[in-house]
């Protein structure tokens, strides 16, 4: 289950490749190099530490975050010596300080393998009590006895046995026996040895007491969780099927509200409300009531319930939800009629969003029930795939092409991939398109208007891509940490913090596309007192700040009000460049466009392609073609026209201007 709570985190902007280099950018670009004296460079580094150190500190913070994630990636063949580095693991921040060295080593090894504290799980009761977190009114609701039966399907691959067994035990203990027809375990080709003999023994012992109560389905090869869920559905026999991860614990009274709603209308697809099992301490943490939505990359996310739900002033009422987070309950036959899950998708990710969209567009509905609560382990890392994002991206494009009509370009924009010739094989989608035609489904625009009206749309985007400079094509503009408003230059890595969107109104948006109106607004590049900054677009617009840019592919990027341009700035103090920026490719309707500028400072827009000459006597940069001398202050050339000095220009050049 991949779903994000809406909270600010540095990590949201730090999905950056390893092998990083700190690059402090302090001035501008040109055609050829001119040396600056070592003493000037040293004096600059000594006297002007402020902005440079801020940039370096931000980059170091980025590296620390990324390195911490790299250290906690699952490494099944990790060297034992590395395992002894215990103090750096988040596992021991709140738990396990009293353990001896050997126990800590074992606990860390299991944590790296599973993504949660399997060492602790193995020592907890399979029938442990968890707090009843239902809203107060839920306990007073009664349900008639003729509810339909349910088959509970658990999907897993290389899960800790104790976690699977606790999921099964909690389902058996907290689901009325007359409503629970069977439990189906789907093993998606695990390599974990304890999931063969030990799990098989548990199934056989349980079935001796309750014949055919537990079914064990094993895949001979790993199919991914999407197809594994469908395998579980095919093995189910009850009128209703509940599809869950195998690292959950059911709360009291979870089943009756769901079965009641489906009995009323079989076209309802229901999700319980989820709480969190902390991956380190296994404490159950209450989560606020939420609907389930998604962003334009089609990652699922928790949403505030709609205003219509709050206006009822009844916290037991069903919450209308645009999407699902992956675990859900559905009428078995209706699930088949509606097209199951898209088995052309790989591994998992996107199938939950696709199902929600499909159900709404094709005559059904999706709900989250506050009176049905299930606790779910949110892992510290995902151990079963090395590149989940690649699978989610491919799956997202399948959804876009089948269901999203003219809005499909939003998905490509969010992933920063060209709409045409994306280079990504999404497989055959003809069957899914035929399904849409057969079900006579509504257009996606109806979904945005009536079900997910909180979703922001970006029809004003005319180009998107990365902001690069042809002199240093390895560097891209990066939004940097969330806590700062200063764009940085960073090694190009193709991740979300380096996405740039150019709009018909001249805005340059940097970073993730804000998914809903309830989220923080997009960050726009703004000229703030002669310095480039990233501010919320709505704030900058309301304050009438300088956020409109004149952009032509292959040319400068110039602020429409200040008339300053964006320039690359080198920190070494050795190379000084001035040039008209160049590139190739169109802007309008160009799909992914690689912008050819990098920045951390503003300079006056370049007027000449001739090299500048450094004059040691006057400590100036001389443009002999235009007859202008720019003073160097504290090691930084001052390119402001009003501060420049007119000198004798080279013959044939145009008369310079200083205003």
Residue-wise pLDDT tens digits, 35-84: 233 344 344 434 444 444 444 454 454 444 444 443 444 444 444 444 44
Cβ-defined contacts of 418-422 (< 8 Å, 24+): 418/591, 418/592, 419/591, 420/591, 421/591, 422/397
Question: How far is Cα 179 from Cα 279, in angstroms, rounded to an integer?
Answer: 31
468-469 β-sheet, strand order: 468-469, 472-478, 488-491
Question: How far is Cα 626 from Cα 645, in angstroms, rounded to an integer?
Answer: 11
Question: How far is Cα 172 from Cα 207, in angstroms, rounded to an integer?
Answer: 13
Which residues lie closer than 8 Å to 205 by C-beta, 6 or more apart? none
What are 624's two structure tokens?
């002999």
pLDDT of residue 470: 66
Question: How far is Cα 364 from Cα 447, in angstroms, rounded to an integer?
Answer: 12
Stretches where the chain sits below pLDDT 70 are 1-87, 383-386, 470-471, 482, 554, 568-614, 625-626, 633-644, 649-659
Total residues belonging to the chain: 659
Give the residue carrying structure tokens 């000095």: 645
Task: Give Dmax (Cα) for the chain.
Answer: 102
pLDDT of residue 551: 79
Count of beta carbons in the 10 Å neighbourhood of residue 116: 26
For 162-191, give one letter per residue: b (16+ CB within 10 A) or e: bbbbbbbbbbbebbeeebbbbbbbbbbebe
Alpha helices per DSSP H over 404-510 = 408-415, 430-439, 444-450
Alpha helices per DSSP H over 300-387 = 307-312, 332-337, 351-361
Q: Which among 179, 176, 173, 183 is positioned nearest to 151, based on CA atoms?
A: 183
For residues 279 and 380, the answer to whether their CB atoms sit within 8 Å is yes
Question: How far is Cα 292 from Cα 353, in angstroms, rounded to an integer?
Answer: 9
In Å, how far are 405, 408, 446, 655 from 443, measured between CA atoms? 7, 12, 6, 60
Question: How far is Cα 56 from Cα 31, in angstroms, rounded to an integer?
Answer: 27
For residues 548 and 506, the answer to whether their CB atoms sit within 8 Å is yes
Task: Tell me the Cα Rg of the chain.
Answer: 29
In Å, how far are 122, 124, 286 from 283, measured between CA atoms? 14, 11, 10
Which residues on neighbouring strands pair with residue 300, listed in sequence order? Answer: 3, 294
37 torsion bin: left (phi>0), alpha (psi -120 to 50), beta (else): beta
In Å, how far are 202, 576, 626, 628, 650 from 653, measured between CA atoms? 89, 22, 6, 11, 6
Domains of the chain, earliest start first: 148-380 (3.90.550.10), 607-659 (2.20.25.10)
CA 24 to chain centre: 27
């Amino acid at each position: 289950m991949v779903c994000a709570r809406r909270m600010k985190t540095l990590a949201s902007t730090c999905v950056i490749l390893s092998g990083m280099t700190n690059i402090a950018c302090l001035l501008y670009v040109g055609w050829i190099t001119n040396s600056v004296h070592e003493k000037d460079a040293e004096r600059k580094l000594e006297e002007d530490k402020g902005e440079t150190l801020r940039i370096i500190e931000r980059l170091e913070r980025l590296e620390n975050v990324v390195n911490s994630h790299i250290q906690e990636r699952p490494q099944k063949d990790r060297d034992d010596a590395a395992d002894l580095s215990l103090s750096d693991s988040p596992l021991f921040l709140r738990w396990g300080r009293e353990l001896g060295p050997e126990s800590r080593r074992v606990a860390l090894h299991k944590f790296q393998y599973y993504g949660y504290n399997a060492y602790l799980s193995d020592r907890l009761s399979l029938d442990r009590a968890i707090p009843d977190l239902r809203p107060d009114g839920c306990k007073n609701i009664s349900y008639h006895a003729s509810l339909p039966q349910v088959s509970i399907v658990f999907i897993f691959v290389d899960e800790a046995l104790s976690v699977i067994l606790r999921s099964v035990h909690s389902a058996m203990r907290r689901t009325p026996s007359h409503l629970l027809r069977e439990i189906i375990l789907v093993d998606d080709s695990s390599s974990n040895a304890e999931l063969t003999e030990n799990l098989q023994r548990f199934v056989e012992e349980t079935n001796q007491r309750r014949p055919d109560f537990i079914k064990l389905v094993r895949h001979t090869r790993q199919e991914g969780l999407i197809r594994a869920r469908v395998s579980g559905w095919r093995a189910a026999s009850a009128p209703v099927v509940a599809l869950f991860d195998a690292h959950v614990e059911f709360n009291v009274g979870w089943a009756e509200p769901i079965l009641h709603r489906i009995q009323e209308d079989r076209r309802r697809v229901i999700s319980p409300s989820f709480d969190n099992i902390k991956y380190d301490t296994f404490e159950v943490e209450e989560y606020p009531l939420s609907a389930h939505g998604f962003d334009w990359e089609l990652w699922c996310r928790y949403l505030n319930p709609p205003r219509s739900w709050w206006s009822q002033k009844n916290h037991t009422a069903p919450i209308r939800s645009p999407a699902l987070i992956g675990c859900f309950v559905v009428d078995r036959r209706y699930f088949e009629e509606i097209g199951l899950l898209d088995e052309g998708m790989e591994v998992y990710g996107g199938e939950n969003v696709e199902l929600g969209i499909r159900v709404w567009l094709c005559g059904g509905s999706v709900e989250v029930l506050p009176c049905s609560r299930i606790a779910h382990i949110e892992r510290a890392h995902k151990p079963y795939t090395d590149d989940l994002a690649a699978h989610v991206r491919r799956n997202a494009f399948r959804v876009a092409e089948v269901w999203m009509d003219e809005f499909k370009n939003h998905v490509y924009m969010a992933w920063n991939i060209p709409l045409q010739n994306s280079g990504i094989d999404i497989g055959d989608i003809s069957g899914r398109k035929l399904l849409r035609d057969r079900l006579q489904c509504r257009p996606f625009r109806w979904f945005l208007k009536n079900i997910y009206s909180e979703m922001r749309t970006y029809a004003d985007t005319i180009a998107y891509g990365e902001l690069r400079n042809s002199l240093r094509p390895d560097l891209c503009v990066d939004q940097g940490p969330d806590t700062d408003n200063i764009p940085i230059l960073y090694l190009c890595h193709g991740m979300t913090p380096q996405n740039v969107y150019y709009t018909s109104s001249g805005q340059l948006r940097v970073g993730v596309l804000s998914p809903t109106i309830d989220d923080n607004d997009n960050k726009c590049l703004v000229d703030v007192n002669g310095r480039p900054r990233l501010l919320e677009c709505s704030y900058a617009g309301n304050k009438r700040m300088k956020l409109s840019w004149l952009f032509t592919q292959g040319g400068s990027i110039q602020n429409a009000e200040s008339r300053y341009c964006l320039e690359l700035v080198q920190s070494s103090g050795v190379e000084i460049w001035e040039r008209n920026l160049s590139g190739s490719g169109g802007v309008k309707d160009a799909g992914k466009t690689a912008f050819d500028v990098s920045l951390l400072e503003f300079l006056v827009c370049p007027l000449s392609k001739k090299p500048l000459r450094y004059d040691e006597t006057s400590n100036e940069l001389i443009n002999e073609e235009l007859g202008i001398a720019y003073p160097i202050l504290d090691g930084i050339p001052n390119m402001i026209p009003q501060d420049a000095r007119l000198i004798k220009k080279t013959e044939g050049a145009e008369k310079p201007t200083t205003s």
